[in-house]
């Protein structure tokens, strides 16, 4: 019993030492980089959306769909040519949070697992990283929509 306690004390000591020695993440700098890259990607998205509204028959509500598809197309090019991972290291959430991040998560996994074949490799593994976004997006939307529908019914 005593041995356990002293071990945890030694562990705690070491954890404190680690906190000191650990190279700290440059949080402020990362936030700036994320802000600029993320904002820039959304800006490009706005250009694309405007393009689709004026040159095709999309409205402001529906132009979101082809915009997302176009952005994911460009993400495929960046990922395929080996540029996206460098962007990701630089921008962090700036590239992960826009739909580029979702696209990259699916496409990079697909490309990586080609060595295991298209069915078992590419097909089965494609949503390894992006799956939770879809799963919990759908599930939370389910809960929220049910609550909201019941709430509205109850309000008359």
* Interacting positions 20-79 with another protein (CB under 8 A): 21-27, 30-31, 34-49, 60, 64-69, 71-73, 75-76, 79
Binding-site member from 2, 6, 59, 115 for another protein (CB under 8 A): 115
**Residue 128 and residue 34: Cα distance in Å, rounded?**
24
Residues 103/75, Cβ–Cβ less than 8 Å: yes
| Rounded least distance, CB 1 to another protein, Å | 18
- In angstroms, what CA-CA distances link 103 with 2, 66, 110, 154? 52, 14, 11, 40
- Smallest separation, CB 151 to another protein (Å): 9
Q: Give the nearer residue to another protein in terms of CB position, either 14 or 54.
A: 14
Q: Which of 56, 57, 120, 145 binds another protein (CB under 8 A)?
A: 145
Structure tokens at 50: 């405007």
In Å, how far from its chain's centre is CA 58? Answer: 26
């Amino acid at each position: 019993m005593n041995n356990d306690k002293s071990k945890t004390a030694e562990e705690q000591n070491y954890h404190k030492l680690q906190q000191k020695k650990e190279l700290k993440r440059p949080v402020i700098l990362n936030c700036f980089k994320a802000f600029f890259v993320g904002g820039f990607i959304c800006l490009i998205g706005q250009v694309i959306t405007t393009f689709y509204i004026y040159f095709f028959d999309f409205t402001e509500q529906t132009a979101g769909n082809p915009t997302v598809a176009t952005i994911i197309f460009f993400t495929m090019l960046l990922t395929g040519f080996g540029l996206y991972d460098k962007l990701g290291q630089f921008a962090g959430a700036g590239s992960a949070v826009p739909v580029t991040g979702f696209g990259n998560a699916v496409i990079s996994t697909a490309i990586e697992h080609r060595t295991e074949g298209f069915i078992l490799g590419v097909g089965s593994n494609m949503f390894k990283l992006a799956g939770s976004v879809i799963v919990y997006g759908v599930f939370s939307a389910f809960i929220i929509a049910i609550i909201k529908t019941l709430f509205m019914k109850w309000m008359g």
